[in-house]
Amino acid sequence: MRAPHRVVVVGASLAGLSAARTLRAEGWTGSLTVVGAEPHLPYDRPPLSKEVLAREEEPELPRLPLPAGPDARWLLGRRAVRLDTSERRVTLSDGTGLAYDGLVIATGAHARTPRAGGPAPPGVFTLRGWDDALAVRARLGAGRSLVVVGGGFLGSEIAAAARARGTAVTLVEAAEQPLTRALGRVAGAYVAGLQEEAGITVRTGTRVTGFRTALGGGLCAVELTNASAVPADTAVVALGGVPATDWLAGSGLLLDQGVCCDPFLRALRGDGSPAPGVVAAGDAAKVPYALAGGSRVTTGHWADALAQGAAAASTLLHGETAGPYDTVPSFWADLHGARFRSVGLPSLADEATVLEHDPAGRRLEIAYHHRGSPVGALTAGRTSRLAAYRAELASAARSAGVCAAAPSAGTRTG
Ligand SMILES: Cc1cc2nc3c(=O)[nH]c(=O)nc-3n(C[C@H](O)[C@H](O)[C@H](O)COP(=O)(O)OP(=O)(O)OC[C@H]3O[C@@H](n4cnc5c(N)ncnc54)[C@H](O)[C@@H]3O)c2cc1C
């Protein structure tokens, strides 16, 4: 495989930037164009649900480091609207056409919007980007009331940060505990306990059915399935992300809630063959994991977007000699003074073994297995344990072997 001359990176955020940085770090001097829908230079998202909301001081854009070496061309505030894989061309929203011989798809995800009927009134937000975070932040503080819809880590962090600013907070979760689907009941109950201890009202086993507005048109209450309503002037819907692949419709790429990739992160076409010169990374990519028996997974984790961006760039430069992507997934979140860290894919587990459970000491350690094999671990206040878990999971993944996944049900071709 010959190294490309012209690389276009679509998505000017973590995964795209990691790819761009890797290309330059490996000494590649070809023409590099980075396209980003947002007007901002690349920035980091994790602080948006943590210190940007929680701190009283005015926040600054948490910028990500740019690639070193020859200048890249930055086309910001413009989105890619079309990909032609036969002509090897990306079309932007302003009509610009970009020819490539290497393309990195790194368009991340959009926030999932509420299903509750009708358009959401003023005062209802999602939180994916910097502008969302500033808008939510402006509505937090003593005397304000917030409902967070969705008790995953993002919703839990938003609730914790808002509470730290003195906001009255209710967290609404459809399952019987927050985080149950991802991490099981013990971890869910542990997190719910921390939230309640901080003065957050946790409403589980109920869904949002609608948003009630005041005379002026703004939000005044959030309606729930059990016919109750929680008074609130602000709601943040934190129901996860939807891979931003709408612009790939008609491209011929295999799309199934993400761009389906082979183990080298090459984007696959409808017939299962890699599209020449196209790789994908981050929250937009669906990547085969040996830990998942070769099934494709979109983890939605920061560290995975970073590692996949680098691996995708290596594939562009070196082809299969770069080796398959085999990094163990990892994640962190901060809640009420506890730093949660997970490795592997705990959501695959059929068994969770609790090794330590000490909410007062902000310590937790759970090992996850599927059919007796390790698939993940979760810790709070036990960072030193992670290296051993990571090594165990890497070894389990090696013995499972990387196998290309068959397209799953519901797969469609873009
Ligand atoms: C508020 C928040 C907090 C988080 N906290 C954590 C955490 O604590 N720990 C953790 O592990 N992970 C966390 N994450 C997840 C982590 O930030 C993501 O996994 C990571 O940002 C994914 O990077 P990405 O580059 O794939 O996608 P993104 O960061 O979503 O970037 C994609 C970029 O592509 C742009 N784009 C989309 N469509 C187009 C188009 N058609 N044309 C051009 N550009 C386009 C978008 O505007 C965006 O700038 C958090 C995410 C959020 C939103």
Q: Using the mean position of ligand 1's atoms as its centre, give its distance from the Cα of residue 295 in Å.
A: 22
Buried b (16+ CB within 10 A) or exposed e, 25-36: eeebebbbbbbb
> Which atom of ligand 1 is found nearest the CA of 331?
11
What value, to the nearest 5°, has the Cα angle with vertex 332 and ends 329 and 336?
160
Please tell me whether residues 277 and 381 are part of one structural domain: no
**Ligand 1 atom having least distance to the Cα of 109:** 30
Residues 52 and 90 in one domain: yes
- In angstroms, what is the span from residue 178 Cα to ligand 1's centroid? 22
Q: Locate the ligand 1 atom nearest the alpha carbon of residue 334 and give its number.
A: 8
Q: Which residue's CA is the closest to the ligand 1 atom numbered 28? A: 108
| Residue 88 domain flag | yes
Q: How far apart are CA 260 and CA 298, in angstroms?
A: 10
- Same domain, yes or no: 46 and 16: yes
- pLDDT at residue 10 in the model: 98
Report CA(410)–ligand 1 centroid distance (Å).
Answer: 24
Task: Give Dmax over CA atoms of the chain in angstroms.
Answer: 64
Radius of gyration of the chain (CA): 22
Dihedrals phi, psi of 386, to nearest 5 degrees: -70, -35
> Does one domain contain both 234 and 124?
yes
Contact at 8 Å (CB) between 107 and 10? yes
- Tell me which residue has its CA closest to atom 18 in ligand 1: 302
Q: Which of 283, 332, 342, 345 to mutate to test the pocket of ligand 1 (most atoms within 8 A of CB)?
A: 283
For residue 203, being part of any structural domain is answered with yes
CATH number of the domain that residue 169 is part of: 3.50.50.60
Domain that holds residue 339: 330-400
| Residue where a domain terminates, one of 267, 293, 322 | 322
Give 158 Cα–ligand 1 centroid separation in angstroms.
16
Does one domain contain both 35 and 100? yes
Cα 355 to middle of ligand 1, angstroms: 33
Look up the CATH number of the domain holding residue 396: 3.30.390.30
pLDDT at 414 (0 to 100): 58
Domain assignment of residue 408, yes or no: no
In a domain, 274, yes or no: yes
CA distances from 359 to 190, 236, 364 (A): 7, 26, 7
**1 in any annotated domain:** no
410 belongs to a structural domain: no
Q: What three-state secondary structure class fits 218? A: coil
Torsion, Cα 394 398 404 407, to 10 degrees, reads -50
Of the three residues 204, 239, 274, the one that is the final residue of a domain is 239
Same domain, 125 and 233: yes
Say how many Å lie between the CA of residue 176 and the centre of ligand 1: 28
From the number of C-beta atoms within 10 Å of its C-beta (0-12, 13-18, 19+), residue 66 rates as: middle
Spans of the chain below 70 pLDDT: 1, 115-118, 401-414
355/309 same-domain check: no
Residue whose CB lies within 8 A of the most ligand 1 atoms, among 18, 302, 341, for a mutation test:
302
Contact call for residues 116 and 208 (beta carbons, < 8 A): yes
Q: Is residue 405 part of a domain?
A: no
Q: 13 alpha carbon to ligand 1 midpoint, in Å?
A: 6
Q: Which residues form the pocket of ligand 1, taking CB atoms under 6 Å from any ligand atom?
A: 10-16, 35-38, 45-46, 48-49, 79-80, 106-109, 127-128, 154, 244, 247, 282-284, 300-303, 305, 331-333
pLDDT for the residue numbered 406: 36
Nearest CA to ligand 1 atom 3: 46
Distance 213 CA to ligand 1 centre (A): 31
Report the separation in Å between the CA atom of 106 and the middle of ligand 1, taken as the mean of its atom positions: 9
Residues 25 and 36 in one domain: yes
- Extract the tokens encoding 130: 């910097």
Ligand 1 atom 37: residue of nearest CA: 107
Residues 6 or more apart whose CB falls under 8 angstroms from that of 273 comprise: none
Report the separation in Å between the CA atom of 109 and the middle of ligand 1, taken as the mean of its atom positions.
6
CB 98 within 8 A of CB 35: yes
Query: Which atom of ligand 1 lies closest to the CA of 285?
Result: 26
Relative to the CA of 11, which ligand 1 atom is closest? 34
Of all protein residues, the one whose alpha carbon is nearest to atom 52 of ligand 1 is 45
The residue among 213, 239, 265 that closes a domain is 239
CA 108 to centroid of ligand 1, rounded, Å: 5
Task: Give the number of domains in the chain.
Answer: 3
The answer on 354 and 382 residing in a single domain is yes
pLDDT digits 0-9 by tens, 78-100 = 999 999 999 999 999 999 999 99
Ligand 1 atom 50, closest CA: 46
Between the CA of 283 and the centroid of ligand 1 the distance, in Å, is: 7
Q: Does residue 390 form part of some domain?
A: yes
Q: What is the pLDDT of residue 402?
A: 42
Same domain, yes or no: 132 and 205: yes
